[in-house]
Chain A
Amino acid sequence: MRLEPKPAPSLAITLLFPLAAIATTLMLTSILVLAAGASPLSVFYLVAKGAAGSQFALLETLTRATPLIFTGLAIAVAFRAKLWNIGAEAQLYIGGVVTVVLGTGALPLPSAILIPVIMVAVMAAGALLLLGPAVLKTRFGVDEVVTTLLLNFIILLFVSMLLEGVLKDPMGLGWPQSQKVIAEAQLPRLIQGKRLHYGFVIALVSAVLVWVVMKKTVLGYEMRAVGHNPEGARFVGIPVNRALMKTALLSGGLAALAGFSEVSGLKGNLTLDLSPGYGYTGIVVAMLAMLNPLGVIASAIFVAGIFVGADAMSRAARVPSYIADVMVATSLLTMVVAILLTRFRIRWR
């Protein structure tokens, strides 16, 4: 069996492949639905209805998509430069920590100043957290996959320590949770009385900004060159290590914004269940978008829809909601195969 390169496909074909990947995923996961004794068609219908069947469902999906856009962007940026940041989960939590440290009354500022100040500090914290593994990679040759993965566990324990110590809400009835952020530090709701908040708008703006950086700036060019061929990039005079550092700063900062947006826009305080794995799901979001920052918006909404829809479905049908996690993981694998097939033809002899 051999792989033969083929000419770049047209845009229509390129867009067709993610759809083929999703169709394959649905076929594979319907086996599991059958194993649960339910009908795949009705279960998938219930998932779709739960994700987008009403105004409430749609808003809930967009709310769930918000942190995924941030983590998806973080991964897309990093993976483009082949910096394997699997630590978005930790960066997200650090973002949450900085939000409650600055947002619970330490800075008595009006909203218009306080929120940007918190955002800058949050991004700086997330950026620094990824800078460590990036320096270890470039200076010592330590694989960043393992360091970022291990940091996820360390940071989660660190947050647990803070929530049972200095950040613990004295009025929290003993629960490990922080105080609520003050009104000035809250992102307002987009629609009165609904959960969707301005974090979603910030996420959309971030996606556009990241797209501009990737396509139109020298940094974006350097990142793509480093990801494509580090030796070649070094040969033509691109400062590879510096480009990787900048990538790490951008990626860590974006992932941390997910934590800020969840605390400031949705939850109000920091708890240990701020994220049900948004950092890891961001990898799937980024891959489904083929690492395109604008595509991340669509794939984050799609993935969020699966989770929101599966929650609603599992209440109606007796199929565990973990089916959503299986669908998302399967779609990651079918998607990488689909991307391969856009570029290569498989010859069996």
Chain B
Amino acid sequence: MDALEILFTASFWVAAIRIASPLIFATMGELICERAGVLNLGIEGIMTAGAFAGWFTVYSGGDLWAGLLVAALVGAMFGLLHATLTVPLGLSQHVVGIGVTLLATSLTYYIYRLALPEVTSPPKIEPFQPLPIPGLSSIPVVGEALFTQTPLTYLAFVSVAAVAWILYRTPVGLAVRAAGENPSAVEAQGISVTGIRMGAVVVGSALMAVGGAFLTTSAFNSFFFQMINGRGWICIALVVFGSWRPGKALIGAILFAAFDAYQVRLQQISGGIVPYQVFLMMPYALSILALILVARRAAYPKALMIPYQKGER
């Protein structure tokens, strides 16, 4: 097949949307944290923990949706840890974030080994099945790509709409955005900056964990080590690329995923002339490139990474 023809096949776009889904959840999670003023570098570890928690719940006999709920709760727990250390205590968001990633990852691996001491190949579960939307799914290419996915992918798109609506259309969203731009103005309204920021980190972390759980309960059907493989860090780049706006971040995630799906197919038709590692490097290199391109006009939330102390100016 020709390298350009790929772009017009439905199967390519179906794959792209599937690859985008976990990134969309986690990017929305990170976006909420950062809009409130907290950089959450725990994302990589929280996604790992979510991936395991979701899969393990189903493996132990739970419902798929129960697995998702458990993953979200585990994510929220790590979010609470991150928030407690960075918001009221005002500790370095860089160091705490890396610490949360290391802790969540190692705790996950420990519990995995404890629960399954002897397994060599990870056990499989019955994952979410595609749920074609009648009518819409028969539209060529676009309909197929968007409407023959699993319920979790639809939920990912819903989460973007929900995050956008809450951020821009509700008082809570206004308070979250203000906490990241001008926290003393929030406090002047009698709203607790600490409360808003902690809430944002907890909810955002739950979304990150759901993103991780997508991998084990929808994209694949088992949990293996290092399966997040830098996706969390890529989501941090996607938030910057999307200028901290849910819609733009969604477009960024889909573009990124399309590129990722494309490199896999290019790899197949290149017939091994170019080492496969070059293709695998591309998504990471692309993320760095995207950061450089938008950096000059990046409108960071003004209070991002600046701890807030009540009564201090």
A-to-B contact residues, CB < 8 Å: 1-3, 32, 35-36, 79, 84, 86, 136, 140-143, 145-147, 149-154, 157-158, 160-161, 164-165, 280, 283-284, 287, 318, 320, 322-323, 325-326, 328-330, 332-333, 336-337, 340
Contact = CB atoms under 8 A, between A and B. Distances in A.
Contacts of A283: 95, 98
A328 B106 CA distance: 9
Nearest to A320: B113
Given A146-B237, A158-B277, A340-B89, A332 B95 contact: yes
Interface of B: 41, 81, 85, 88-92, 94-96, 98-100, 102-103, 105-107, 109-110, 113-114, 117, 194, 229-230, 233-234, 236-237, 240, 275, 277-278, 280-281, 284-285, 287-288, 291-292, 295-296, 298, 309-311
A329 B285 contact: no
Given A32-B110, A146-B237, A140 B309 contact: no
Given A140-B295, A140-B296, A161 B96 contact: no
Given A150-B230, A161-B275, A325-B106, A337 B89 contact: yes
Contacts of A332: 95, 98-99, 102-103
A154 to B, nearest CB: 5
A141 B295 contact: yes
B94 A84 contact: yes
A84 to B, nearest CB: 5
Nearest to B307: A3
B290 to A, nearest CB: 10
B291 A333 contact: no
A141 B296 contact: yes
B295 A142 contact: yes
A146 B291 CA distance: 9
A35 B233 CA distance: 32
B110 A326 contact: yes
A283 B117 CA distance: 29
A36 B114 CA distance: 7
A79 B96 CA distance: 13
Interface centre among B85, B98, B234 (most CB of A within 10 A): B98
B277 A161 contact: yes
A117 to B, nearest CB: 29
Contacts of B96: 333, 336
Contacts of B280: 157
A322 B230 CA distance: 20
Given A3-B309, A145-B41, A336-B96, A140 B292 contact: yes
B241 to A, nearest CB: 11
B102 A329 contact: yes
Contacts of B309: 2-3
18 contacts: A84-B94, A140-B295, A143-B291, A145-B41, A150-B237, A150-B284, A154-B281, A161-B275, A283-B98, A287-B95, A325-B102, A328-B106, A329-B99, A333-B103, A336-B95, A336-B99, A337-B85, A340-B91
B291 A147 contact: yes
Contacts of B105: 325, 329
A336 B92 contact: yes
Nearest to B98: A283
Contacts of A84: 94
A330 B101 CA distance: 11
B82 to A, nearest CB: 10
B310 A2 contact: yes
Nearest to B229: A153
Given A140-B296, A161-B275, A336-B91, A318 B291 contact: no
Contacts of B277: 157-158, 160-161, 164
Nearest to A326: B106
A329 B230 contact: no
Given A149-B230, A151-B284, A157-B277, 12 more contacts: A2-B310, A3-B89, A79-B95, A141-B295, A142-B292, A143-B240, A143-B291, A150-B230, A328-B106, A332-B103, A333-B100, A336-B95
A228 to B, nearest CB: 13
B285 A154 contact: yes
Contacts of A287: 95
Contact of A157 (B99, B110, B113, B281): B281
Contacts of A157: 277, 280-281
Contacts of A161: 275, 277-278
A89 to B, nearest CB: 12
A322 B110 contact: yes
Contacts of B311: 2
A326 B298 contact: no
Contact of B275 (A3, A149, A165, A336): A165
A161 B272 CA distance: 12
A329 B281 contact: no
A204 to B, nearest CB: 26
A333 B109 contact: no
Given A141-B298, A325-B110, A340-B91, A149 B99 contact: no
Contact of A145 (B94, B106, B229, B296): B94
Interface centre among A323, A326, A330 (most CB of B within 10 A): A326
Contacts of B107: 32, 326, 329
Contacts of A322: 106, 109-110, 113
B85 to A, nearest CB: 7
Contact of A153 (B98, B106, B114, B284): B284
Contacts of A79: 95
Given A2-B309, A325-B109, A333-B96, A146 B89 contact: no
Contacts of B114: 35-36, 320
Contacts of A318: 117
A36 B110 CA distance: 10
A117 B80 CA distance: 50
A323 B110 CA distance: 6
Contacts of A284: 99, 102
B110 A164 contact: no
